[in-house]
């Protein structure tokens, strides 16, 4: 009886972890139409392999991004949508949401902060030039999670990206094959 109870608890825990590996109210592998029906935020745009919606979290405006391969959801996340005149705001957003992700998922397995010497005193300028990047990375059984502060072409953004490992591998291989076919 005791073993059955422990087994039930373990089984339930595994199911809970699996459920947490999805993004918002979607599930990995959903079609574009299924995601469109489930997402309740304001519609922003669509491409042949992406859906985009608007939301606000912690007084920060975000674009919710859903990406598809073979009409299956494989990546999803948030990208800041506002262009801040004070570039340091991106570092503040990164740190705030990184801390929230740590509260939810624990410490990232990898963190990278790249600041070339030329930008040591002005990392905000380096961010706009694409030379400064902050990354925190988590790796779970079925998904990866990254939060980045990144930029280039005088624009910066914070991105939180969840990726389903199995479907992401399909997309990576497809892109690799497409590149090889051009050689």
What digits encode the pLDDT tens for the residues 129-139? 999 999 999 99
- Nearest CA to 78 out of 33, 38, 30, 24 is that of 24
Q: Where are the alpha helices (DSSP H) in the chain?
A: 2-20, 32-38, 88-105, 123-129, 165-181
**The total number of structural domains that make up the chain:** 1
145: number of Cβ within 10 Å: 20
Q: Find the domain containing 30 and state its range.
A: 24-181
| Res. 21 pLDDT band, cuts 50 70 90 | low
Q: Is residue 15 part of a domain?
A: no
What digits encode the pLDDT tens for the residues 66-109? 999 999 999 999 999 999 999 999 999 999 999 999 999 999 99
Q: Is residue 106 part of a domain?
A: yes
Q: Distance between terminal CA atoms of the chain?
A: 63
What digits encode the pLDDT tens for the residues 138-179? 999 999 999 999 998 889 999 999 999 999 888 889 889 999
Q: What is the pTM of this model?
A: 0.84
């Amino acid at each position: 009886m005791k073993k059955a109870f422990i087994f039930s608890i373990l089984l339930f825990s595994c199911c809970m972890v699996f459920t947490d590996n999805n993004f918002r109210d979607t599930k990995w592998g959903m079609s574009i139409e299924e995601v469109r029906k489930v997402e309740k935020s304001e519609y922003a745009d669509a491409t042949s392999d992406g859906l985009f919606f608007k939301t606000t979290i912690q007084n920060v405006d975000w674009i919710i991004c859903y990406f598809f391969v073979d009409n299956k959801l494989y990546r999803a996340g948030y990208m800041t949508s506002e262009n801040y005149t004070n570039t340091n705001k991106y570092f503040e957003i990164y740190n705030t949401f990184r801390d929230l992700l740590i509260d939810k998922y624990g410490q990232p397995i990898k963190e990278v902060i790249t600041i070339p010497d030329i930008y040591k005193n002005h990392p905000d300028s380096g961010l706009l030039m694409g030379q400064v990047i902050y990354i925190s990375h988590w790796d779970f059984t079925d998904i990866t999670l990254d939060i980045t502060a990144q930029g280039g072409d005088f624009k910066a953004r914070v991105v939180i990206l969840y990726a389903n490992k199995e479907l992401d591998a399909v997309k990576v291989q497809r892109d690799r094959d497409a590149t090889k076919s051009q050689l």
